[in-house]
Structure 1
Amino acid sequence: MAGIGFELKKLFNKKGYFYSSRAYIYSTIVSAAPLILCTLMVTFIQLLLTFIKVPFMEGQLFLASVVYAFIFSQIITSGFTMVITRYISDRLFSKEYDYILSSLYGVLTLTLAVGALIGGVFYYISPIEINIKIASYVLYMELIMLWVEFVYLSALKDYTKVAKAFFIGVAVTMMLAFLFIKINTLNIVLYMLLAMDIGIFITVIMLLYYIEKFFNVENNKYFDFIRYFKRYPSLFLINLSYTLGIYIHNIIFWNSKLGVSIYNTYRYAPLYDVAVFYAFLSGIPSIVTFVVSVETSFYDKYKMYYGFITNGGNFRDIQRAKNDMTNTLWREILHIMQIQLVFTILFLLLGKIILPRFGVIGISLDMFNILVIGVYCNMMMLVFVLLQLYFDDRKGALMVTSIFILSNIILTICTLFLGTNYYGFGFFGAAFISATIGFLRLSLFMRDIDYHTFCSQPVISK
């Protein structure tokens, strides 16, 4: 989150709801904008398709094309984004700004190459119409670029421009979707995908322009960041295992009795996937609250503690700073838990009223209820993992995310054998177990923070 903290502090230091609202909007943009972007686009287009009574299978083809592009673009880029985040932070700290823009070009080249190969093979063997293949493939590649650019957005201080890029992308998609339906209702799936392609392309190009303008110097070391894969391999595995853990239960359900095949290309479990989608929207508040809490409250105490250590503070100063940091840490965690609990209860109550109007009824609504509670546990697990990374406890973070994906696989498969009454409990159980282990690991680490800080360093510098 390099660069966002200073802007948030400036806004929160000013009095009034206007500045506080701007601060929360800023943190929302840099933490959940792609999810919100795709949600608005897909929801609007689905309402249009429902209004003009598009055949069921065509609507499912559109939805599956978007879902696959969103999920697999995120999986492919997940490991890269964690490593490049560390690389950018180090370059900003050492004031080597010319490496940052070069790294963007390098990581885009690498992720697009990997994504192009995987996506190319998938769509090559697909029997769907060639035009829809191309439109889906373009959407998938654009989302790869968007996920990579998203890593660099927190360093941009002009968040209004970032918001404008996302807003224009959504607005263009909606206008084009409406226009295409007015002009022609034949091959509607292709035109809806084209509308999304154009809207996201505009957002990607605008963000790329803002990043290039902000980091206006570069060198020719485009792949210098690759050495960080050797230095911090655990970072790659941590984010990859977490992202896979987020979606692995969906993939398992795709191949269950709930799964259906769409044009012999996509496997999809509508009853489960729709419940998961709406449930995960409830997790956005905790992500935003975490960004605000860490950058405006916890980081100052964190910086003071390590500042006394590196700048020759005495024992009393270090201990006082440690106590302040620890107290602030647990206070902010409790604050995040309370905020997320409020939204979890709100989603559970509103879900019973609103979701049936979108066709979420019966078993799907039951799964939504347990998945919302699972998302609460998952968000807490994510908070613990991110805080472990703040203290460079990569071993602990990897342990928690590995347990998350393994337990998610095992428990989800078990629920398939237990029957429909247990669907959703696999994800909930995995999230609860990993959140509990994450909490225990962070607690033990904070109890022995002085030991980890001093004894983890080499006795003789190399």
Structure 2
Amino acid sequence: MAGIGFELKKIVRQGTMASYLQVALSGAMIVAGPWLITILAIGLIQRFYRGALAEGPDLFLATVVYTYTGSLLSFGGVHYLFSRILSDLLYEKKERQTLAYFGWFLLLVGFLSALVGAGIGGTIRPMAIRNPLAYRVCAGFFFLFVSLHWLFIVYASLLRWYGRILAIYAGGMGLFVLSSAFLSPLWGVAGVLAGFTLGNLGILAGLTILILKFRQEARGLVERKGFTEVFTECTRGVWKYMKTRGDLFFTGYFYYLGIWIDKILFWIGKGQQVEGTWFRVFPPYDVLVYYTNLTMIPGLVFFVVFTETGFATILRKFLEGLSRRTYLNILKEKRRLYGESLKYVRDLGLFQGCITLSTALLSFWLIPSSPFPGTVGALLWGVFLHLLYFVLTSFLFFLEAYRGALVTAVLFFGVNLLVTLVSLGDGQGVKVFSLLGGGAEGGKVAYLLGGNASGGFPFLLPPGSGYLLGTFVAVMVSGGIFLVTLRRIDSRIFSRAAE
């Protein structure tokens, strides 16, 4: 899955400002396309069509946030499994089958997300807006399109047409802005959501055309074998992966739970309910999370272009030489693999560290002020550690250390959960844990964790402390597992071969 990184790396080697700009834009869209489009599009709407959101700004933003959160929490494990299947098919030179599996996962996620989307649209009752029915319908379709969007992004990473991908995203954003400008005077905030939904649909349509054109040789697979046979083969293949790669599947869910659990707890414990919905928001924290997470994008692009491609190259060379080198040479190459891997992590850490430090120094200008001392710093350095954790987890996936990745993801989630309960303080930990843990027993545990906070200060620890400590523990544990796995990589491979 590092293929797009190798293509972008070729562009970087041209050494021109235009090539650097092209790589930066294309890489950003590959690693964070839906996220960036959301941010830019909302920014344009707030800048030029502020009146369109006047009747329900919290409603619109809550719908967007809950949609992205819900889609990741619902299908995070599916994304990981899909990525692994694609990687194996490419390695086995079975490119034709990638499109069949892509279609299988689209059907699965499309069906399930349509049900969830219908549930969202059917359970919210927006008030004081011009067209509540249109808003509810668009909310359901928006969840469907976003859930499918993640799969398209995974598959689009196989394509070498990064310029066309960038153009499709730009066109989708333009469609959103124009359709919102046209519909918002008629429907108000429902028109903005309708425009946003149409923009996402436009991106999906563009990527579909691009994928079908790229995989022309695979388009006749269903016609030759028949839909039923192809669907059955894919179902058996996915079930086989579920039995052998279950750790990877569950890692995806715990990873996204770890990312979102602190936000969810603050919504429950400190947030305010959006009128006419079950959505809860906590703007003082949500806004800071929104801004600080932007600092990860440069590091993600660096990872795709340099870190991932570099590690994939040296690992492949090491593995290919196992069958023809002497044991002493294998040990020598293993030490080289060990040293080079640490160098790639170090270089990425230095790059992202400069981004984080610069943002921290300029936070008074770049990030809205926080009513909670220490929160901006906790979130900024939490994002820094999060990127390192992401990189180390990706390396564990390369080494097929899925059990270690799962353990780390569970720890990330657990530490963030417990520390955030402590930070809630003044009885809110009791309230939240009672809801999550079930009644009185959950309340007793939460009281010991932080429900006995005293005084008027609203938090025992700064908001974001759970995220910071969770990522710190995840980096330490995943780093340790990665180093141990590297040291034992040759013995693991030879023992498997003996079996």
- What TM-score do the two structures reach when normalised by structure 2? 0.85
> Does 2:329 match 1:329?
no
CA distance in 2 between partners of 1:440 and 1:48 (Å): 49
The alignment partner of 2:124 has SS state of coil
The alignment partner of 2:270 has SS state of coil
> Does 2:247 match 1:239?
no
1:49 is displaced (CA, Å) by 4.9
The alignment partner of 2:280 has SS state of strand
CA distance in 2 between partners of 1:416 and 1:154 (Å): 40
CA distance in 2 between partners of 1:263 and 1:425 (Å): 32
1:325 is displaced (CA, Å) by 1.8
Contact 1:4 1:295 in 2 (8 A): no
Residue from 247, 264, 280 that aligns with 1:251: 264
Contact 1:260 1:268 in 2 (8 A): yes
> Which position in structure 1 is the counterpart of 2:467?
427
1:174-233 residue CA offsets vs partner (Å, 9 max, x unmatched): 22333445xx2x541111011111111111100011111111213442334422222211
The alignment partner of 2:158 has SS state of coil
1:232-278 residue CA offsets vs partner (Å, 9 max, x unmatched): 11111111111121111111111112333332331111111111111
1:144-190 residue CA offsets vs partner (Å, 9 max, x unmatched): 11101111111101111111111111122122333445xx2x54111
1:382 is displaced (CA, Å) by 1.1
The 5 Å alignment of 1:42-191 reads 42-50=42-50, 52=51, 54-55=53-54, 58-128=56-126, 129-181=132-184, 184=185, 187-191=187-191
Q: How well do the aligned residues superpose, as a CA RMSD in angstroms? A: 2.0
Contact 1:127 1:265 in 2 (8 A): no
Match for 2:341: what amino acid? L
The alignment partner of 1:157 has SS state of coil
Query: Could you say if the C-alpha distance between residues 49 and 68 of structure 1 is closer, same or farther in structure 2, counting changes exceeding 3 Å?
Result: farther
The alignment partner of 2:106 has SS state of helix
> Does 2:4 match 1:4?
yes
* Structure 2: 5+ residue stretches without partners: 127-131, 426-452
CA distance in 2 between partners of 1:93 and 1:53 (Å): 49
> Does 2:447 match 1:407?
no
Name whichever of 91-100 and 188-197 sits farther off.
Answer: 91-100
Contact 1:135 1:194 in 2 (8 A): yes
> Which position in structure 2 is the counterpart of 1:263?
276
Contact 1:371 1:428 in 2 (8 A): yes
The 5 Å alignment of 1:294-373 reads 294-309=307-322, 311-355=323-367, 360-363=368-371, 366-373=374-381
> Which position in structure 1 is the counterpart of 2:434?
none
Contact 2:59 2:274 in 1 (8 A): no
Count of residue correspondences: 449
CA distance in 1 between partners of 2:305 and 2:143 (Å): 31
1:120 is displaced (CA, Å) by 2.0
CA distance in 1 between partners of 2:469 and 2:295 (Å): 18
1:54 is displaced (CA, Å) by 4.9
1:341 is displaced (CA, Å) by 0.9
Name whichever of 26-35 and 433-442 sits farther off.
Answer: 26-35
Name whichever of 322-331 and 197-206 sits farther off.
Answer: 322-331
1:16-35 residue CA offsets vs partner (Å, 9 max, x unmatched): 34334433433322212121
The alignment partner of 2:274 has SS state of strand
Match for 1:429: what amino acid? L
Residue from 441, 451, 455 that aligns with 2:491: 451
1:458 is displaced (CA, Å) by 5.1
The alignment partner of 1:370 has SS state of helix
Contact 2:356 2:380 in 1 (8 A): yes
Contact 1:262 1:268 in 2 (8 A): no
Contact 1:49 1:59 in 2 (8 A): no
Contact 1:275 1:365 in 2 (8 A): no
CA distance in 1 between partners of 2:108 and 2:136 (Å): 22
Query: Could you say if the C-alpha distance between residues 15 and 59 of structure 1 is closer, same or farther in structure 2, counting changes exceeding 3 Å?
Result: closer
Match for 2:99: what amino acid? L
Query: Could you say if the C-alpha distance between residues 431 and 173 of structure 1 is closer, same or farther in structure 2, counting changes exceeding 3 Å?
Result: same
- What TM-score do the two structures reach when normalised by structure 1? 0.92
Name whichever of 263-272 and 387-396 sits farther off.
Answer: 263-272
Contact 2:258 2:413 in 1 (8 A): yes
Contact 2:171 2:203 in 1 (8 A): yes
Q: Which runs of 4+ in 1 moved over 6 A?
A: none
Contact 1:46 1:59 in 2 (8 A): no
1:76-110 residue CA offsets vs partner (Å, 9 max, x unmatched): 22111111111111111222222111111110110
Contact 1:308 1:317 in 2 (8 A): no
> Does 2:423 match 1:384?
no
Identity of aligned residues (%): 23
CA distance in 2 between partners of 1:247 and 1:131 (Å): 29
Query: Could you say if the C-alpha distance between residues 17 and 247 of structure 1 is closer, same or farther in structure 2, counting changes exceeding 3 Å?
Result: same
Match for 1:201: what amino acid? L
Match for 1:127: what amino acid? R
1:12 is displaced (CA, Å) by 3.5
1:109-165 residue CA offsets vs partner (Å, 9 max, x unmatched): 101111122232233222232211111111111111110111111110111111111
1:274-333 residue CA offsets vs partner (Å, 9 max, x unmatched): 111111111112211111223442222111100001x42222432332222222111110
CA distance in 1 between partners of 2:398 and 2:268 (Å): 38
The alignment partner of 2:325 has SS state of coil
1:36-55 residue CA offsets vs partner (Å, 9 max, x unmatched): 111111222233454x3854
